[in-house]
Amino acid sequence: MYKSIKTKLKLNNKQKTFLAQHAGYSRWVYNWGLSLWNAAYKDGYKPNARKLREVFTNHTKPLYPWMKNLSSKVYQYAFRNLGEAFKRFFQGLGKRPRFKKKGRSDSFTIDNCGKPVELNGWSHKLPFIGWVKTYEPIEATTQKITISRQAGNWYLSLSYEFSATPTPKITDVVGVDLGVKTLATLSTGQAFPSIKPYRTAQDKLAKLQRELSRKVKHSNNWHNSVIKLARQHRRVANIRKDALQKLTTHLAKNHGHVVIEDLNVSGMMANHKLAKSIADQGFYEFRRQLEYKTQWYGSELVVADRFFPSSKTCSNCGHVQDMPLHLRTYDCPECGLSIDRDLNASINLRHAVGLTVNACG
Ligand SMILES: [Zn+2]
């Protein structure tokens, strides 16, 4: 089974320049090859990518010293791509290859001279390019990588052979309730405290913001404050990222089936207070991470129906009642159950899956 990844790169200006040079090299070679191909065809020859590449390597490349500073893989792949574009055109599968324009199709492909490229975690050593960082962890072994630019951002794409590495599971089925007071409550009784990084760091952010407003714009002090503020924002984002990564890894690694609610996010966003909390806690990100991590660890993500009343139903007898947000405890008038609101919801989510549930789960 093959899977593809495309993910954003975290780069400094020097790296961006280096990548832009490679993309420019790729475009230069592709356009050079295309114009020669067209000219040769007009003169009655039957060009192909391999022949053009030979001409380029032996006669053209030596004339341009700047090419020596860039990976030679770039031009090899540019010719390969040109050949494939013509092949698709001749088979009637694509349009006649056209010249690449700067800013529209900035990309290049490289490989590791036959050796696989290993990507593991947040930092990656790419052949020739060196160390780059990504905004999400990647686990993949691939033969080639493509780097491209879109709207000023750089992306890494690759495909790899995918094999799950299942981990032993503590619990067969776990229901997870995402909350406002608590980040996540598991049907096992385990709770992950709310991160609310913005709220806890809000005082500090507000203080920095006040300091900034008192300073003369573009003065040295003002610049220092801008940097401090940006640093605090980044710190806050990292706390959140870290908490979510830990939670989703724990869920996917230790549970056979992870049952979550299909959050009616647009409905919840109408509630201003809830909306901030949802944004803070990264609920979209939570689901996205679970989707790929359950695949990594051989578990399954189950998304309960959007209209499943997980908060309103008694997890013991099935009685349904209204549960306004301020009620933190579910008190059942039918069977007398009194249970934490979020725990009750998570147990309902666990029951929502028609599976045999481990007695101690
Ligand atoms: Zn009940």
pLDDT band at 160 (very low <50, low <70, confident <90, very high): confident
pLDDT band at 158 (very low <50, low <70, confident <90, very high): very high
> Would the pLDDT of 360 be above 50?
no
SS3 category, 173: strand
Catalytic residue among 106, 261, 280, 340: 261
CA of 335 from ligand 1 middle (Å) equals 4
The Cα–Cα gap between 122 and 119 comes to 8
> Would the pLDDT of 287 be above 90?
no
SS3 category, 276: helix
- Top pLDDT among 102 and 271 is at 102
342 assigned to active site:
yes
> Would the pLDDT of 235 be above 80?
no
- Top pLDDT among 164 and 350 is at 350
pTM listed for this prediction = 0.57
Contacts by 228-235, CB closer than 8 A, 24 or more apart: 229/205, 232/201, 232/204, 232/205, 232/208, 233/205, 235/201
pLDDT of residue 100: 94
Q: Which of 12-16, 131-135, 178-182, 217-221 bottoms out in mean pLDDT, i.e. has the lowest?
A: 178-182
The stretch 38-53 carries a mean pLDDT of: 93
pLDDT of residue 217: 85
> Would the pLDDT of 306 be above 80?
no
Class of residue 357 by CB neighbours under 10 A (exposed 0-12, middle 13-18, buried 19+): middle
CA of 345 from ligand 1 middle (Å) equals 13
pLDDT band at 264 (very low <50, low <70, confident <90, very high): low
261 assigned to active site:
yes
Catalytic residue among 106, 111, 280, 342: 342
- Top pLDDT among 356 and 176 is at 176
CA of 130 from ligand 1 middle (Å) equals 60
CA of 61 from ligand 1 middle (Å) equals 78
pLDDT of residue 355: 46
Q: What DSSP character marks residue 143?
A: S
CA of 192 from ligand 1 middle (Å) equals 25
CA of 268 from ligand 1 middle (Å) equals 27
The tens digit of pLDDT for each residue in 125-137 reads 999 999 999 988 8
- DSSP states of 108-134: EEEEBTTBPEEEEEEEEEETTTEEEEE
pLDDT of residue 356: 39
177 assigned to active site:
yes
> Would the pLDDT of 151 be above 90?
no
> Would the pLDDT of 278 be above 70?
no
pLDDT band at 257 (very low <50, low <70, confident <90, very high): very high
- What ranges do the domains of the chain cover? 2-161, 171-192+250-351
The mean pLDDT of the chain is 86
pLDDT band at 361 (very low <50, low <70, confident <90, very high): very low
CA 80 to centroid of chain Cα atoms: 29
pLDDT of residue 273: 60
pLDDT of residue 139: 82
pLDDT of residue 272: 59
pLDDT band at 223 (very low <50, low <70, confident <90, very high): confident
